[in-house]
Amino acid sequence: MPIESIEQRFTGRLKQRQDEHLYRHRPLSFSPQQPHMQINGVHCINFCSNDYLGLANHPKIQQRLIEVLQNQEVSYGSGAAHLVTGHHLQHHLLEDEIADWLGVERVLLFSTGFMANLAVLQTFAQKGDVILGDKLNHASLIDGALQSEADFKRYPHLDTKGLEKRLKAAKSAKQQAIIVTDGVFSMDGDLAPLDKIQELAGRYNAWLIVDDAHGFGVLGEQGRGTLSHFKLTPDLNTLQIGTLGKAFGCGGAFIAGSNTAIEALIQFARPYIYTTASPQLNAVAVREALKIIKQADNSRQKLQMLIKQFRKGVKNLGLSLWDSPTAIQPILLENSEKAIQWSEALKKQGFWVAAIRPPTVPQNQARLRITLSASHTPKHVEALIEALKSLANQLPCTSTQPAPKK
Please list the active-site residues. Answer: 186, 214, 246
CA nearest neighbour of 317 among 297, 296, 327, 332: 332
What percent helix, strand, coil does the chain show, rounded to 5?
A: 45, 15, 40
Give the CA count within 13 Å in the CB-facing half-sphere of 280.
17
CA nearest neighbour of 113 among 232, 216, 33, 260: 216
CB 144 within 8 A of CB 121: yes
- Find all residues with CB under 8 Å of 166, minimum gap 6, and list them: 130, 132, 153, 155, 177
- The number of angstroms, rounded, from the C-alpha of 402 to the middle of its chain's C-alpha atoms is 24
Handedness of CA 202, 203, 207, 212 (dihedral sign): negative
CB 355 within 8 A of CB 395: no
CA dihedral 84, 88, 94, 99 (to 10 degrees): 40
Strand partners, 110: 253
**SS3 assignment for 183-224:** CECCCCCCECCHHHHHHHHHHCCCEEEEECCCCCCCCCHHHC
